Amino acid sequence: MNKTDVLIIGAGPTGLFCAHQLGIIGLSCEIVDNLDKAGGQCIELYPDKPIYDIPAVPECTGEELTNNLLKQIKPFNVKFHLNERVEQLKKNQNRWHVKTSGGVEFDVAAIVIAGGVGSFEPRKFSVKECEKFEGNSLFYSIKDKSIFKDRTISIFGGGDSALDWAIELSNSSKVNLIHRRDGFSGAEASVQKVKDLNNQGKLNLFTKYQIDSVSGDKKIESIKIKHDEGEIKEIKCDYVLGFFGLIMQLGPILDWGLNINKKTIEVNTENFETNINGIFAIGDICSYPGKLKLILSGFHEGALAARGCFKYAKPDEKLRFEFTTTSKAAQERLGIKK
Amino acid sequence: MAKITYHTHDNKTQTIDVQNGLTVMEGAIQNDIPGIDADCGGGMACATCHVYVKEEWLDKLPAKEDGEEDMLDMAFEPKNNSRLSCQLIVSDELDGLEVNIPSKQG
């Protein structure tokens, strides 16, 4: 059981800055995120795209913003729990017990949901029967590539993940790469490599095809793919891999009894608390009249929510407003030596 | 101003007057038309505002920019008439445009 003052759900810019604000006022926190790294949409959707509307930062990329925020919270030694999605929530007297998908448990005084548009999860095939084989012969990510050795693999997608795995697995497996069009979004060098491998007969490339059906008893035995013009091909294979990027899903938070409206959580604008005492929501996931989905708004919301958490974490103490320029306590927490 | 017709997957049809300069995505969001999620808010960074454009409109729309087709690879059941509605900026020329919204976005 991880005992801390505040659990932050979501390691995007808003969640990271909220951790900073909690640290400044002397509260501890830990952060959970379903991605394998901090940064949220900034790192997953647009790491290289410049952002021009962070106050006092004329231009920075999503990756730079994330790295700077991580640097800013370094003094507080915030513990991250990545690749974890929050699932169960239980009230225990004045505290909350939260459990994640991987079984990590937290005992906290308050919760700040900074979940953006939800947790990132792989986009799946639209064909219904695919569900049946998921996790046994159909995957959206690879944990153990050794299972593919000397087998026939059908890979779907046109981005870097699909291309990289097609190239890598073609060394020791029979690989079919299937993509909906002639163009690819992956790196040019990888596209060329895939085409070369196809020409050398080391990989079979099918473009303008999409999945039509999968069949098999316990495991996948064959799939059918359909050309843009209607022609259907049957391919025997042992495994199917789909790489269609990630989609954001609100997930189990939906069942926590929060007031949810169009995938956002209603909050008050005084301290960004939700309809449940001790649970706050900030950033893209919160809604209130006039809400702007900007990173700078998330920073403001995080600063107020952090202060809102104080009375739950330290009910017997009074929070005094202080500036980092002059507060000895804040400077000590930041580890500043004079 | 242009009249944009949205056909949702439950076979309902709504025709909305959308102001010039807004996107077809915004026209749907502002009028509570279901089925367009627009998770990234119009940044061409997701594919959850995906629509199917009525065939006769395909050639009349501005061509796809770099990146739109890449994002469409990620869409739910993309077809030849797939577009991201956040990239369709409404103008008088789009008056009468009809789009079908897929059964889901992911």
| A237-264 residue pLDDT tens | 999 999 998 888 888 999 999 999 888 9
Answer for the pair A153, A171: CB distance below 8 angstroms, yes or no.
Answer: no
Q: Which residue of B has its CA nearest to A42?
A: B45
Q: Which of A47-51, B24-28, B81-85 has the lowest mean pLDDT?
A: A47-51
pLDDT at residue A59 is higher than 80: yes
Instruction: Among A199, A229, A244, give the residue marking a domain's end.
Output: A244
B106 within some domain: no
Average pLDDT, chain A: 95
Q: Considering the entire predicted model, what is its pTM?
A: 0.80
What pLDDT is stored for residue A47 in this prediction?
Answer: 87
Q: What is the CATH number of the domain that holds B92?
A: 3.10.20.30
Helix (H, G, I), strand (E, B) or coil at B1: coil
What pLDDT is stored for residue B41 in this prediction?
Answer: 84
The amino acid at A330: A
Q: pLDDT confidence of B43, banded at 50, 70, 90?
A: confident
Q: What is the CATH number of the domain that holds A178?
A: 3.50.50.60
Closest residue by Cα to residue A45 from A31, A65, A30, A59: A65
- Distance CA(A325)–CA(A330), nearest Å, equals 9
Q: What is the mean pLDDT of the segment spanning A258-278?
A: 95
pLDDT at residue A338 is higher than 80: no
Number of domains in chain B: 1
Same domain membership, residue A115 and residue A23: yes
Answer for the pair A169, A203: CB distance below 8 angstroms, yes or no.
Answer: no
A338 within some domain: no
* A-B Cβ pairs (cutoff 8 Å, strict): 52
SS3 content of chain B, % helix, strand, coil (to 5): 25, 25, 55
Dihedral of the CA atoms A17, A21, A24, A25 (nearest 10)?
-160
Dihedral of the CA atoms A246, A247, A253, A257 (nearest 10)?
180
0.85 surpassed by complex ipTM: no
Number of domains in chain A: 2
CA within 13 Å, CB half, B59: 1
Domain with A186, as residue range(s), is 124-244
Instruction: Among A191, A219, A244, give the residue marking a domain's end.
Output: A244
The set of residues, in sequence order, having a beta carbon less than 8 Å from that of A168 and lying 6+ positions away, is A145
pLDDT at residue B75 is higher than 80: yes
What pLDDT is stored for residue A188 in this prediction?
Answer: 94
Domain with B51, as residue range(s), is 2-100
Question: Is B39 in Cβ contact with A247 (below 8 Å)?
Answer: yes
For residue B34, list chain A residues with Cβ-Cβ distance below 8 A. Answer: none
Q: What is the mean pLDDT of the segment spanning A91-97?
A: 95
Same domain membership, residue A259 and residue A114: yes
Q: pLDDT confidence of A143, banded at 50, 70, 90?
A: confident
Could you tell me whether strands A29-33 and A86-92 are parallel, antiparallel, or unpaired per DSSP bridges?
unpaired
Alpha helices in chain B (DSSP H): 24-30, 68-72
pLDDT at residue B106 is higher than 80: no
Q: pLDDT confidence of A105, banded at 50, 70, 90?
A: very high
Distance from the Cα of A241 to chain B's closest Cα (Å) equals 14
A53/B contact by beta carbon, under 8 A: no
More confident: B53 or A119? B53
